[in-house]
A = this chain, B = another copy of it.
Amino acid sequence: METGPSNPAASVVVLAGGVGGAKLAHGFAQLDLGSRLTIIVNTADDFELYGLTICPDLDTVLYTLAGIANPVTGWGILGDTANTLAMIGRYGWPTWFWLGDRDLATHILRTERLRQGARLTEIAAELAAALGVTARILPMSDQPVRTIVETPDGPLPFQDYFVRRRQRDTVLAVHFAGIEQARPTPEVERALADASVIVLAPSNPIVSIGPILALPGLRDRLVDHPAPIVAVSPIIAGRALKGPADRMLASLGHEVSPVGVARLYQDFLDGLVIDSADADSAPAIEQLGIRPLVTDAVMHDEADRARLARETLAFADQLRKGRH
């Protein structure tokens, strides 16, 4: 059992996207926080395929916290097969989005529960409970939000850009369809209200953390929040560890560095965890009024995840004390 945060009643809220967010969330889950750990997960890359509602980020967080994630890809279920998908292909339907057979159970049951009128939040709780996950996995909203990526070839639904076209298009702009009508859920509001630490996971700032921050009222809540808010930089040595965040930041006019990340969160961020490779960014981050923590920010294994989570919590504690 790992050592928890110094305040035993601390409620840790992590804002997360997919693989990077799931890894850090798993680090916190190793700190014996139980239900005092809440992961608020991006749902703007959710989509419908074959009539099934697929929530890639929710599923990645769920599988990772349940200990059944595929450790090679970071997404999907360890040892999963794809026999349904092969048959779907035999029927002549497109198969560019890889769906494992075990993974399909999640999409089928979620879709059925949505059809029955359940909220995405309730469904996420049911799935997590069945897999023995004690942390609370909260979709950012129960209303559908869908990321649209503007490219030289026109607008693309997120998964078309991300999976089907393998992120080859230059991203000219990003918007979140449905975001004006969407609301943070009551559970998200409550988790934020109770949070003693808020952590932005090392997920894509534009399309993973971006939609959460774009929910009506949510960013203002962070700006006004009394608890320390700490981000872990998803950019290390000028590159995203995974995914197109680096190219996306560049094409949207942002600096591809922890400083660029800090600027995106500047209005509410108290501290930014950066990798030793980016130690020379520390002064520029400090100039933005944000405290940097230089450490090893790459999560190679499960122990790394717990270490980074623990360091992030200790850092937040320092920031809290520094204020008082």
Contact = CB atoms under 8 A, between A and B. Distances in A.
A81 interface: yes
Given A80-B83, A81-B83, A83-B80, A88 B101 contact: no
A102 B83 contact: yes
A171 B178 CA distance: 53
Interface in A66-117: 77, 80-81, 83-88, 90-93, 100-106, 108-109, 111-112, 115
A88 to B, nearest CB: 5
A54 to B, nearest CB: 12
Nearest to A113: B51
A146 to B, nearest CB: 19
A187 to B, nearest CB: 21
A126 B91 CA distance: 8
B111 A87 contact: no
Contacts of A115: 51
A106 B127 contact: no
Main SS of chain A's interface residues?
A: helix
Interface in A32-76: 50-52
Contacts of A103: 87
Q: How large is the interface on A (under 10, 10 to 19, 20 to 34, 35 or more residues)?
A: 20 to 34
**Number of copies of chain A assembled together:** 2
Interface string A218-232: 000000000000000
B102 A84 contact: yes
Nearest to A51: B112
Q: Taking each of A51, A88, A93, A115, which has the highest tally of chain B beta carbons within 10 Å of its own beta carbon?
A: A51
Contact of A105 (B77, B88, B109): B88
B90 A130 contact: yes
A88 B108 CA distance: 9
A131 interface: yes
A167 to B, nearest CB: 27
Contacts of A87: 77, 101-106
Contacts of A100: 83
Q: Taking each of A84, A88, A90, A130, which has the highest tally of chain B beta carbons within 10 Å of its own beta carbon?
A: A84
Contact of A109 (B81, B86, B93, B127): B93
A75 to B, nearest CB: 16
A314 to B, nearest CB: 36
Q: What are the nearest 6 A-B pairs in CB distance?
A: A87-B105, A51-B112, A83-B101, A87-B102, A101-B101, A88-B105
Interface of A: 50-52, 77, 80-81, 83-88, 90-93, 100-106, 108-109, 111-112, 115, 126-127, 130-131
7 contacts: A85-B105, A86-B102, A87-B106, A88-B109, A91-B109, A91-B131, A92-B130
